[in-house]
Structure 1
Amino acid sequence: MLYYIIILIVVLDFGWTQYLAYRNRKLMTPIIPEKLKGIYDQEKYNCQQAYQKENSRFGIYTSLLSFIIILVVLSFGLFGWLDNYLRGYIESPMLLTLAFVGVVYVINEIVSLPFEYYSTFVIEEKFGFNKSSLKTFWFDQLKGLLLTIVLGGGILTLILWIFGNLGEYWWLYAWGAITVFSLVMTFLYSDIIVPLFNKQSPLEDGELRKAIEEFAKRADFSLKNIYVMDASKRSTKGNAYFTGFGSKKRIVLFDTLIKDLTTEEIVAVLAHEIGHYKKKHIVKQMIISVFYTGAMLFILSLFLNSQPLAEALGGSYTSFHLGIIAFSILFTPISLVLGLFTNVLSRKNEYEADTFAANFGLSDGLVGGLKKLSVDSLSNLNPDDLYVFFYYSHPTLLQRIKHLGA
Structure 2
Amino acid sequence: MTPQIILYIIIGITIVSYLFSQLLDLLNLKFYRKDIPEEVRVFYDQEKYQRSIEYNRTQTRFSFLTSGISFAASLLMLSLGGFGWIDHLLRPFISNPTLLALSYFGIIFLASDLLTLPFQLYSTFVIEEKFGFNKTTIKIFFTDKLKGYILGALIGGALLSLLIFSVNQIGPTFWIWFGVIASSFVLFMNMFYTSLILPLFNKLTPLPEGELKKAIQQFTQKVKFPLDNIFVIDGSKRSKKANAFFSGIGKKKKIVLY
Give the TM-score category using the shorter length: 0.7 to 0.9
1:78 match:
82
| CA distance in structure 2 between the aligned counterparts of 1:197 and 1:82, rounded to whole angstroms | 32
Question: Which residue of 131, 135, 143 corresponds with 2:135?
Answer: 131
TM-aligned CA deviation for residue 219 of structure 1 = 5.6
Q: What TM-score do you get using the length of structure 1 for normalisation?
A: 0.57
1:87 match:
91
2:109 match:
105
| CA distance in structure 2 between the aligned counterparts of 1:174 and 1:34, rounded to whole angstroms | 47
Structure 1's 246 and 57: CA in aligned 2 closer, same or farther, altered over 3 A? closer
Question: Which residue of 188, 204, 210 corresponds with 1:206?
Answer: 210
Structure 1's 225 and 53: CA in aligned 2 closer, same or farther, altered over 3 A? closer
| CA distance in structure 2 between the aligned counterparts of 1:125 and 1:6, rounded to whole angstroms | 38
Question: Which residue of 14, 32, 37 corresponds with 2:35?
Answer: 32
* Contact map agreement 2:55 2:131 (CA 8 A) in 1: yes
2:71 match:
67
| CA distance in structure 2 between the aligned counterparts of 1:85 and 1:191, rounded to whole angstroms | 40
Match of 1:128, SS state, is coil
- Is residue 55 from structure 1 mapped to residue 59 from structure 2 by the alignment? yes
* Contact map agreement 2:226 2:253 (CA 8 A) in 1: no
| CA distance in structure 2 between the aligned counterparts of 1:224 and 1:26, rounded to whole angstroms | 41
Name the amino acid aligned to 2:35.
Answer: I
| CA distance in structure 1 between the aligned counterparts of 2:210 and 2:50, rounded to whole angstroms | 38
| CA distance in structure 2 between the aligned counterparts of 1:176 and 1:136, rounded to whole angstroms | 36
- Is residue 250 from structure 1 mapped to residue 257 from structure 2 by the alignment? no
Pairs aligned (count): 253
1:322 match:
none
1:9 match:
13
Question: Which residue of 227, 233, 237 corresponds with 2:237?
Answer: 233
Query: Deviations for 1:174-208, whole angstroms, at most 9, x for unmatched residues?
Result: 11211222222222211110101111111212233
- Is residue 174 from structure 1 mapped to residue 178 from structure 2 by the alignment? yes
| CA distance in structure 1 between the aligned counterparts of 2:51 and 2:212, rounded to whole angstroms | 32
- Is residue 196 from structure 1 mapped to residue 200 from structure 2 by the alignment? yes
Uncovered stretches (5+) of structure 2, i.e. residues with no partner: none
* Contact map agreement 2:36 2:49 (CA 8 A) in 1: no
Question: Which residue of 5, 15, 22 corresponds with 1:18?
Answer: 22
Query: Deviations for 1:348-391, whole angstroms, at most 9, x for unmatched residues?
Result: xxxxxxxxxxxxxxxxxxxxxxxxxxxxxxxxxxxxxxxxxxxx
1:257 match:
none
* Contact map agreement 2:124 2:134 (CA 8 A) in 1: yes
Query: Deviations for 1:59-111, whole angstroms, at most 9, x for unmatched residues?
Result: 11112111211121112111111112211222222111111101101101111
Q: What TM-score do you get using the length of structure 2 for normalisation?
A: 0.87
Question: Which residue of 139, 146, 152 corresponds with 1:142?
Answer: 146
1:165 match:
169
Match of 1:88, SS state, is coil
| CA distance in structure 1 between the aligned counterparts of 2:243 and 2:60, rounded to whole angstroms | 23
Identity within the alignment, %: 43
Structure 1's 167 and 137: CA in aligned 2 closer, same or farther, altered over 3 A? same
Match of 2:133, SS state, is coil
| CA distance in structure 1 between the aligned counterparts of 2:78 and 2:220, rounded to whole angstroms | 54
Between the two structures, name the one with larger relative contact order (CA 8 Å, sep ≥ 6): 1
Structure 1 vs Structure 2 CA RMSD: 2.4
* Contact map agreement 2:36 2:46 (CA 8 A) in 1: no
Match of 1:225, SS state, is strand
TM-aligned CA deviation for residue 44 of structure 1 = 2.4
